[in-house]
Amino acid sequence: MEKILAILVILVAVGLVGLSIFGPKNYGGTATFDKEATIKIDPGRKFDPDRITMSSGRVKITITNNNNILHQIVIYDNVEQRIIAQWDSIKAGATETQWVELVRGRRYEMYDPTWKDKGMKAVLIAGS
């Protein structure tokens, strides 16, 4: 009985190690930035972080594409119902930067129009 229990413990431990190495990765998360933000597109076509709080006013947003395909990124103002920033083509492995004007208290959508319905979106909140 003790041998069976020991074998089960070893199998569970090996399984947990394998899952941590080869299992799904946790991307996304929340981050707060002042006037400059760096956002990554991860290999799973998600933003990291995917909930961003920044200062209002003129801010610098840098996007790094760690995915293997080209992405178009949009920041959409739901209040004015218009695109306030757009990266037309961020190639795989590339980094692109833009200056964007954010209005205090607003929530913006950031997404890739092609992959938005598959979950490639983030929330950008303009603080004080």
Tell me the per-residue pLDDT of 37-47, one tens digit each, with 9 for 90 and over: 999 999 999 99
Q: Which two tokens stand for residue 123?
A: 């929330």
Beta-bridge mates of residue 30: 51
pLDDT tens string 106-124: 999 999 999 999 999 999 9
Compute CA distances 17 → 4, 32, 67, whole Å: 20, 32, 26
Q: Which two tokens stand for residue 88?
A: 């037309």
Confidence of residue 26 (pLDDT cuts 50, 70, 90): very low
In the chain, the amino acid numbered 74 is V
In CATH, the architecture of 27-126 is: Sandwich (2.60)
Note the pTM of the prediction, 2 decimals: 0.77
Q: Which phi and psi (to 5°) does residue 110 adopt?
A: -120, 130
Gyration radius from the chain CA atoms: 20
Residue bearing the bigger pLDDT, 21 or 99: 99
